[in-house]
Amino acid sequence: MKNRPVVSAYYFPNWHVDKRNESLHGKDWTEWEVVKCARPRFPGHVQPKIPVKEWGYADESRPDVMELKTDTAAKYGIDAFIFDWYYFQSGPYRERCLKEGFLPRSNRGNVKFAIMWANHDPVLSHPCPWKKPADHIPWTGALNAETFREGTRRCIRRYMTQDDYLRIDDGVYFEIYRPEAFMIEVGGMDAAGKLVEGFRNDVEKAGLGKLTLCGNTAGMPPYWDLGIGKVNEFCRKLGLDMVSCYGGCPFKQGFPSADYVEWQIKTCFGSNEMFTRELDLPFNPYVQPGWDSSPRTVQSDMYEDIGYPFSGIVVNDTPENYRKALELNRDLFESGRATGKIMNLSCWNEWTEGTYLEPDEQFGFSKLEAVRDVFGLADKGNARLSDETHVTLKKSCI
């Protein structure tokens, strides 16, 4: 295609055993248990979601599992994974996938990777009862200056020095999920700006050249109240280089169900156009394949309209409708209207939010096929895998 962007997928790494999760749910717990326990909330609601038999409920901290995932991603035109990365004041969380699975795998180079600092509390994914909030979780995503310096220097040492770390505009790419919260928690705009400047200096001292720093719209000042002008001012003061969007639930499209066309094709693509047109910085658009956060609710509680994760469940999220949404965003790039360099697919594997591309029993690989058909394969960087490339796991991996 003309003006093909870097096609990236956000990667949610909670499909492996983590000591913090075990302290809440017991030995060997992973979020796959939440997937398995989901139930339909209205007639025609498809739950539980089930991975294709050949993949199963796989442990992402195994290199052979990540070989499968990255081979499949590359085969269908995905150039990079942007990992949701959690680092609290008390240390890392959900990091074993990247450290023990992705980096040690034998097929390095087929898919690049980058980090998005997911600086938020994970309380609502464990799952959440009707009487919110859920039981207290003894750690928080809130940052301070020391934690920010520790975390960014950890990323430089462990990740940004890797040959397959993603570079955009010749800079190592790094994203902050909630930039406004970061600014507030570290002591205000002046303090945050100094930390960003220090981060840039650390990247340069490590011999990595420049930093390409991205902020996510999910954590910007409320543009719907304050206007885009305030967002532009915020981005300029903080020192961001570009803006992305992770996506989210359908707030105004209906409950308990919301139509995919109304939500993703009309509303969300309209947001992509608005951000592209009105932001001063380059904007990387996004597309979601679906939405269903009902698995993250206590399944014996009533499903009422009380806010995330009790949110509207998207229906008609067919591969055909997903393809239409992809085509609209492809046209942004082909027409030259897009200002960013990345097409964000949100997400690769958010199974408990119903926004995933990994193959399931309902649609198989059809949504991945839509990505490949719409955006094609990159001319460089990805191995052009043949149709014979393996897309299954050995039984011992499952």
* 89-104: pLDDT as tens digits: 999 999 999 999 999 9
pLDDT of residue 394: 42
Which amino acid, residue 324?
K
**Which backbone phi and psi does 85 adopt, to 5 degrees?**
-125, 125
Helix (H) or strand (E) holding 154: helix 145-155
Distances (CA, A) of 385 to 9, 31, 224, 344: 18, 30, 44, 22
Count of CA atoms in the C-beta half-sphere (13 A) of 265:
19
Q: Do 174 and 213 form a contact (C-beta atoms < 8 A)?
A: yes
Q: Which residues of the chain have pLDDT under 70?
A: 133-136, 380-398
pLDDT of residue 398: 37
pLDDT of residue 388: 37
pLDDT of residue 252: 78
pLDDT of residue 139: 84
Cα Rg, the chain, nearest whole Å:
20
- The single residue listed with the structure tokens 């001292």 is 205
Exposure class string for 127-166: b at 16+ Cβ within 10 A, else e = bbeeeeebeebebebbbeeebbeebbebbbeebbeeebbb
Q: Do 41 and 54 form a contact (C-beta atoms < 8 A)?
A: no
Domains of the chain: 6-397 (3.20.20.80)
pLDDT of residue 134: 60
Which residues are bridge partners to 286 per DSSP? Answer: 344
**How many residues comprise the chain?**
398
pLDDT of residue 224: 79
**CA pair distance 344, 325, nearest whole angstrom:** 12
Q: Which among 43, 46, 42, 25 is positioned nearest to 34, based on CA atoms?
A: 25
199, two tokens: 């981060």
Q: Which among 15, 95, 96 is positioned nearest to 57, based on CA atoms?
A: 15
**CA pair distance 108, 105, nearest whole angstrom:** 6
Dihedral, CA of residue 309, residue 25, residue 137 and residue 354, to nearest 10? -20
DSSP classification of residue 10? E
β 210-216/171-176 pair status: parallel
Q: Do 115 and 82 form a contact (C-beta atoms < 8 A)?
A: yes
Averaged pLDDT score across all residues of the chain: 93
Q: Which among 341, 309, 301, 326 is positioned nearest to 376, based on CA atoms?
A: 326
pLDDT of residue 132: 77
DSSP code string of 60-85: TTSHHHHHHHHHHHHHTT--EEEEEE
Q: Do 72 and 391 form a contact (C-beta atoms < 8 A)?
A: yes
